[in-house]
Structure 1
């Protein structure tokens, strides 16, 4: 019988903090419960912000916590050609379109809409859904704009994608860390609208690269924070469209700061390295997180 496969997948665009430690330790603990394997994936498709120095710091922090992973470590930046194949499949199936609206165009469309007294729909992260004014451009006009160098991103035609499904989408969610029971969760990709699948300069996005990697690495259990709970709906849709295997999921609690928000690298929340320098030990960090 094949052993379950778990993964911890940080982005090397900042230092790991307590929230990352919780996720890594939860993956380690759940993998140990079922005799599973634990992989480390470096999600570095954002080549402008991700650095080798941050990756080295991640490895150092994880080693300090006593978390061991199988080698070799997968780096997404080394597999852009593979993600582009997935994009080309979606293009061939006519499920994506080049979206030319700039942020200013989007903002103007939303302001005009809300001037009528109607609110504009937003995704689970609070970002406005894409207006899609250019969704029905002719192939000739799309090519003319692309050839002219007009900036664009590839967006998923979510309504068209959902119309191709033969059955409702759902995913299996573990209800607790002891993995005693699961529940079936109905997926709702519509809440994300027409999301960015790739950009002209980067032939992938987080959502595409993560489902491709999970399938290629044989990930059977995706264990991550509740901040990615709603993203599962969209990723289940992509798995179905691309013919990829479906893992099971567990979305663990988040570590919150004093102001009640989740910890964030962009907000420069205290990193594990700083805690180590302040005299904390792996044992005290684990105690802070309930391990």
Structure 2
């Protein structure tokens, strides 16, 4: 349920009957939507609608220090301006803190989560580097060393390979113990970590299919590990190509990618469609956002089987 001050546009498609496909778009309110995030929303929307599925929107507002005032409302207005209408109410992750805490308590009770007193600098100094940065060396795995105070909470990993089939990338496998190490589920500042929150909330919303950027591909095995520990279902995953800037880097709010101009929704959608290799219709300037989306749906061939 949105906060009382929410300015969410009121015209929605409404709930649909029970379906085998439930997808979602889950932006963080750290700034307005940029061209890359509009493409991500469009791919997620097209995949859901192509399979007659439900498409939900979740605002991942779990990191107040990084959030911008008004960003959540701006994101929703931008989706609305481009006729990317979602099903049901917007879920604000900040309303789910009790559920996240309950999942963390469950992991602690099962012996899978433990307190860690290490700093980032200490972990980096251990010198065990992986593809994504320093690998946690397990310093606090068997209890806090003398003189340490608890900071973050970590979840235990193992060296059995975790496999999943990605609809774009095919078979993906990772040994978390060797390549990542025990990872954080509650940060030193007390905030729930992304990996835990997304797993709990995907299950809560009944998400069956996750469509998101390939920058999150390496997060998936950690999420599957948590799903297994908590007895939660694993969705079908599709990690799509990213929109890159002139420097070859991913467009992001952190690199100050410009906001999508809501006054030019037709041009924005045509540009996003071109990135996906979809043809633009003749006389598109005279179209509506909805008719452009219908054109995109008619020409969209989702990668891989939805399962």
TM, length-normalised to structure 2: 0.77
- Structure 1 position 261, deviation (Å): 1.1
Which residues of structure 2 form unaligned runs of 5+? 1-17, 279-307
Instruction: Note the 1:39-54 alignment, pairs <5 A.
Output: 39-54=56-71
- Is 1:67 matched with 2:66? no
1:113-151 deviation per Cα after TM superposition (whole angstroms, max 9, x unaligned): xxxxxxx322x43x211233232226xx68x85xxxx45
Check if 1:23 corresponds to 2:40: yes
More helix by share: 1
- Measure, in 1, the Cα distance between the counterparts of 2:219 and 2:105: 22
Is the CA contact 2:212–2:238 (under 8 Å) kept in the aligned structure 1? yes
Equivalent position of 1:169 in the other structure: 162
Which is bigger in relative contact order (C-alpha 8 A, separation at least 6)? 1
Pair 35,129 (structure 1): closer, same or farther in 2 beyond 3 Å: same
Alignment equivalent of 1:269, drawn from 248, 257, 265 = 257
Corresponding residue for 2:96? 79
Task: Provide the rounded CA distance (Å) in 2 between the counterparts of 1:136 and 1:259.
Answer: 45
| Contact 2:19–2:53 (Cα < 8 Å) also in 1 | no
After TM superposition, the structure 1 = structure 2 runs for residues 222-261 of structure 1, keeping only pairs within 5 Å, are: 222-261=210-249
- Secondary structure of 1:154's partner? strand
Distance in 2, Cα, partners of 1:121 & 1:271: 35
User: Deviation of residue 3 (structure 1)?
Assistant: 3.5
Of 126, 129, 146, which residue of structure 2 is paired with 1:121?
Answer: 129
8 Å contact kept, 2:21–2:52: yes
SS at match of 1:12: coil
Uncovered stretches (5+) of structure 1, i.e. residues with no partner: 111-119, 177-182
Distance 1:280 1:134, change over 3 A: same
State the alpha-carbon separation in 2 of the partners of residues 49 and 240 from structure 1: 30
Alpha-carbon distance in 2 for matches of 1:32, 1:152: 44
Q: By how many angstroms is 1:98 displaced?
A: 1.0
Count, aligned residues: 259
Query: Does the 8 Å CA contact 1:174/1:249 hold for their aligned counterparts?
Result: yes
How well do the aligned residues superpose, as a CA RMSD in angstroms? 2.4
